């Protein structure tokens, strides 16, 4: 009887924790832990693998963890490693020191030389 109650409470808690969370990042900032449930895992991929996460919306978290796959569903759990500063940083871009008009001239100089036959 007690085991049945414990299993029921566990399943109810899991349902309340994971409902409406498919393909969304969920995290507890105080413990720096995150989890993601996805429904688009590749069927031929490994059942257990290392995983990385880059959040492309505010607050720009990065994370490292482990991903478990079952059929076409996957569950990823890990540790939040750091916060990025912007979407540009999350996507691997960088700020340039030159103004935009100087950058526009890069391609035009090459085109002018090609038209002149140099």
pLDDT for the residue 48:
92
pLDDT for the residue 79:
95
104 falls within a domain: yes
108 falls within a domain: yes
Would you place residue 65 in the very low, low, confident or very high pLDDT band (cuts 50, 70, 90)? very high
57 falls within a domain: yes
Lowest mean pLDDT among 24-28, 90-94, 101-105: 90-94
Range of the domain at 71: 21-116
**Contact, 82 vs 68, CB < 8 A?**
no
Number of independent structural domains in the chain: 1
Q: What is the DSSP letter of 57?
A: S
pLDDT for the residue 60:
83
- Say if strands 33-38 and 25-28 run parallel, antiparallel, or are unpaired: antiparallel
Q: Specify the higher pLDDT residue, 32 or 43.
A: 32
Taking residues 84-97, what's their average pLDDT? 71
1 falls within a domain: no
On the question of a cis peptide bond just before residue 103, with omega within 30 degrees of 0, the verdict is no
Q: Let me know how many helices (H) and strands (E) the chain has, helices first.
A: 3, 5
88 falls within a domain: yes
74 falls within a domain: yes
| pLDDT at residue 50 tops 90 | yes
70 falls within a domain: yes
16 falls within a domain: no
């Amino acid at each position: 009887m007690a085991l049945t109650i414990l299993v029921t409470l566990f399943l109810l808690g899991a349902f309340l924790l994971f409902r409406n969370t498919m393909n969304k990042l969920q995290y507890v900032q105080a413990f720096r832990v995150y989890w993601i449930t996805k429904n688009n895992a590749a069927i031929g991929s490994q059942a257990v693998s290392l995983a990385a996460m880059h959040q492309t919306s505010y607050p720009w978290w990065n994370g490292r963890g482990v991903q478990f796959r079952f059929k076409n569903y996957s569950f990823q759990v890990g540790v939040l490693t750091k916060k990025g500063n912007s979407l540009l940083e999350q996507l691997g871009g960088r700020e340039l020191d030159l103004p935009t008009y100087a950058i526009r001239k890069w391609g035009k100089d090459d085109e002018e030389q090609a038209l002149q036959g140099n």
